Amino acid sequence: MEHKDLLGLYDMSRREIELILDTALPMKDVIQRDIKKVPTLRGKALVTVFYENSTRTRTSFEIAGKYLSADTVNLAVSTSSVQKGESMRDTIKTLEVMGFDVLVMRHGMSGTPHYVAKNTKMSVINAGDGSNEHPTQALLDLFTIREKKGYLDGLKVAIVGDILHSRVARSNIYGLTKFGCEVRVVGPSTLIPPGLDNLDVKWYYSMEEALKGVDVINVLRIQKERQQHGLFPSLEEYANLYMLRPEHLLHAKEDVLVLHPGPMNRGVEISSQIADGVQALINEQVTNGVAVRMALLYLMMGGTKDEIAG
């Protein structure tokens, strides 16, 4: 790895992304074995610190570490000394002197993992910071697309929904554009952030227009916890205009892939017919998330692609 930390895909090179994706391939083989355990990271220690709720990301990091034989600890912020008034800097320093090698952090404020990375010797992985980035979700999305399509270069990808609040959208845009993909975003005007022209992204208000000829549709969760009043009239109104339905797929390529970072709001941003259909790779994304996070932990703790291949 070129950097001590993984804070986002904005500053990550295409070569580094490809290294992670390539390393995830043998890691997925480990997951599919009857005995899902290799001694690769024995003696290494990982701690996850999530200031926001999570099922997939936190659990996948924890099991990824365990599959590689690292010691893994989940710090429950709600029952930690944070509740007694301990500062974040003191919490992080405490974890550092305990001997942890990697800290995985999720926080509701954008930039928090960047602050932590500057104040610790541990390697820091951003597991989502506010509305900024969610790099490991984008990496697993890229891995899933490449696994199914065989390549990433030049694909047409539509990202649907709450772009304004989505750290998943930002990281995907940063990653996909490094492979020359045509990225389209579609949603209500109130959920389309300014400045997309600077990212070489096309934006649409019409689902039919946005999905014409696309290879991949990435549906975003409506983030009720981050919504401000007045961004759209109601969830019903949003669903009428922007919920992905079977008829929308007629505008895309015949072999279109459907992704969703989860958790899903069925009947709001995605219909059950699509979520449970053959085009959807939502459960495979979860499996691939474990493989990608195994690869990342392996590389950040000193491993190389050649070692794992051997």
* 245 tagged catalytic: no
With beta carbons less than 8 A apart as the criterion, state whether 135 and 171 touch. yes
H helical segments located in 34-166? 56-67, 88-97, 112-118, 135-149
Q: How many CB atoms lie within 10 A of CB 239?
A: 18
CA dihedral sign, ordered 91, 92, 97, 98:
positive
* 56 tagged catalytic: yes
The rounded radius of gyration (Å) of the Cα atoms in the chain is 19
* 229 tagged catalytic: no
Q: How many residues does the chain have?
A: 310
Q: Which of 15, 79, 84, 118 is catalytic?
A: 84
Q: What are phi and psi of 216, to 5 degrees?
A: -140, 140
User: Where are the extended beta strands (E) located within 96-252?
Assistant: 102-107, 123-129, 156-160, 182-186, 202-204, 216-219
The Cα–Cα gap between 231 and 263 comes to: 21
Q: Which of 106, 170, 221, 251 is catalytic?
A: 106
Q: Which residues are 50's β-sheet partners?
A: 106
Q: Which of 57, 112, 136, 144 is catalytic?
A: 57
The Cα–Cα gap between 220 and 238 comes to: 13
How far from chain centre, in Å, is Cα 26?
A: 20
Q: How far is CA 284 from CA 143, 157, 260, in A?
A: 10, 18, 10
The Cα–Cα gap between 270 and 202 comes to: 22
Cα angle at 228 between 223 and 231, to 5 degrees? 85
Q: Which of 28, 56, 226, 305 is catalytic?
A: 56
Q: Which of 107, 134, 146, 156 is catalytic?
A: 134
* 134 tagged catalytic: yes
With beta carbons less than 8 A apart as the criterion, state whether 265 and 226 touch. no
Catalytic site residues? 56-57, 84, 106, 134
